[in-house]
Structure 1
Amino acid sequence: MSIEHKEIAAIREDYAKSSLIESDVLHDPIQQFKKWFDEAISSQVTEPTAMVLSTVNEKGFPSSRVVLLKDIKSEGLSFFTNYNSRKGQEILQNPHVSILFFWPELQRQVRFEANVEKLSKEDSDEYFASRPRGSQIGAIASPQSVIIPNRESLEKRVAEVELEMGDLAIPRPEFWGGFLIKPVRVEFWQGRSSRLHDRIVYILENDIWTINRLAP
């Protein structure tokens, strides 16, 4: 092992900020997530809504990227994107994903395995209308995930859309909208000392959530 790699291997942090035991958790994982999410907000963690979304393409290769959580519903979590983007197309082809939240300030992570479906047009319209005008124009102008020749071509298209729209209200394009992530497995991870981390997993079976502890 090189000196540089030895230095990387020596990087470690002991986790001792909190604990997680079965009697602490709520029966429903969405409610438990909301509790932790609210604590992340109140603790002012960096980017509390950032989640790593992993999809799988038709060849079985996974792809991960960070997207932003936009709503917590009783049945799951939602985010918005271009349906023609790589993630959008992979979800439409294979509606099974995983998502990961990591809040290092709290030494916590939450992992979801889930089915995905499109949000209603009404939900997508409502959120699109709430976006800043620049973001609305960007959603229309950018052919997300498509190879483009340069930055200038994108900026030119943005200027064209701005000119086309003028002062008019900008309607949501059909190729842009929301997805609802409906979990079937949720794991809550709390860092503990000596790598003996707390791991509580919820698994959905016959519409009933079972709760168990996993070895770290």
Structure 2
Amino acid sequence: MAPKEVGKKTAPPVRKRKKRKLTKEEIEKRKKKKRKENVIEIIKFMLPIVIVAIFVFFFILNTSPHMVDGDSMKPTLMNKDRVIVRRTKVPERYEIITFKPPVKSEYQYVKRVIGMPGDLVWTEGNDLFINHQAESLPKESAMSAASELPDGTIKVNISEECLEQMSQFKKIPTGHYFVLGDNRNNSSDSRAFGLVDGNAIEGVVSFRFAPFKEIGWIK
């Protein structure tokens, strides 16, 4: 027979401690902490991407931010909209540009290009006619008859200052542009101050980045 072990005690069974039930406040606190950690992780992930995007936009693509001031471009652009301007792009017809106006102003203007270098122009009274399709000016007797005007003719009423300038030309000179605001009833544009010199143009508006719900490309 095997000898009995003397003095050896059996260890008592280990009781599992019951987990304490968390209160609503503690659960909410943990959720907030988790959300905060998730936000921090997203920021850590997105920050390098944002930095690269900024570098590409402002240095490689040669762009700059611009804030719209006023209502002259409604409904396309609203007051306080933030847009990206491509400084290296040569404006095309109907594109929106920012430029230093030929009048006293602390702001850059934002307008749409209507008349391009080489477009035919003529005046009658205080009306200016612009045409980029016709090869020659219409006969003097037909200038005011809308039915006889060449296709594609734009007619706008202009100020005396603009009339004095535009009456000298048969074509818009090289490097100059005729611009209008989309909100024609509330816009100071080429109708008032005449042509915009290409050297005064900052660039072409290409993208709106604020407000957030309006983010997108501009046409």
Normalising by the smaller structure, the TM-score range is: under 0.3
Q: Which has the higher helix share?
A: 1
**Which of these two proteins has the greater Rg computed from alpha carbons?**
2
TM-score using structure 1 length: 0.25
Relative contact order (C-alpha < 8 Å, sep 6+): which is higher? 1
